[in-house]
Amino acid sequence: MTGPDRPWRATILTLYPEMFPGPLGLSLSGDALARGAWSLEPRNIRDHGIGRHRSVDDTPAGGGAGMVLRCDVLAAAIDAATLADDARPRLLMSPRGRPLTQARVRALAEGPGAVIVCGRFEGVDERVIAGRALEEVSIGDYVLSGGEIAAMVLLDACVRLLPGTMGKEASGRDESFEGGRLEYPHYTRPREWEGHAIPEVLTGGNHGAIERWRRERSDAITRERRPDLIVGGGEG
């Protein structure tokens, strides 16, 4: 668990450590980083490369296009970054991984942190995935140039849930995916804009009616856009 004396720890294994903290150094995550609520340690996989040129990849066994990140190099980088009693999960950002969900994000945020491997090239030697118990995680059904941006997405999602990062606990409680639904619409001043008014129920002061409206709109938006989130394919 994390706390004032035990910040949430993120170790990033990458060929491009200069990409970090990047956007994670700004806004909520940057403020939390400056306060010591979490720590970020980018480590260069190439430090463990082979030979004079610090080679980290080789041609795929069986032939094919591109290059593959070597198992011995990546294993050495992981071993150097973790201690025997390191309880943090070891994640590999990969398009073939299990989709990242808000439930998984919350579980990660409630733990001690994460060791995140950012792949490059055509992929990672399968033996190191098994040999170092890497959990493959995907942020969507598309392919990026490398795992760094995906790692930033995961970290941002986790860090914002750390205690004290968001202004109000309710800011996170009512968001999309937290209750198995997408979030309801939001409005603010001006009361009328380009012929469109704020829904009257939101300005009437009846908190029970407001909660019912928000719940109904949340259900309707979820059924329209993400029926897969509703048990029974849209029934529930």
- pLDDT digit string, tens, across residues 28-82: 999 999 999 999 999 999 999 999 999 999 999 999 999 999 999 999 999 999 9
- Residue 199 is part of a domain; what is its CATH number? 1.10.1270.20
C-beta separation of 81 from 115 below 8 A: yes
Q: Structural domain of residue 95, as residue ranges?
A: 8-159
pTM here is 0.90
Query: Closest Cα partner for 111 from 161, 182, 71, 61?
Result: 161
Secondary structure class of 183 (helix, strand, coil)? coil
Indicate whether 21 and 125 sit together in one domain. yes
Whole-number pLDDT of residue 171 = 54
Total number of residues shown for the chain: 236
DSSP secondary structure letter of residue 218: H
Whole-number pLDDT of residue 177 = 81
Does 151 fall in a domain?
yes
Does 166 fall in a domain?
no
Indicate whether 25 and 127 sit together in one domain. yes
Phi first, then psi, for residue 183 (nearest 5°) are: -75, 150
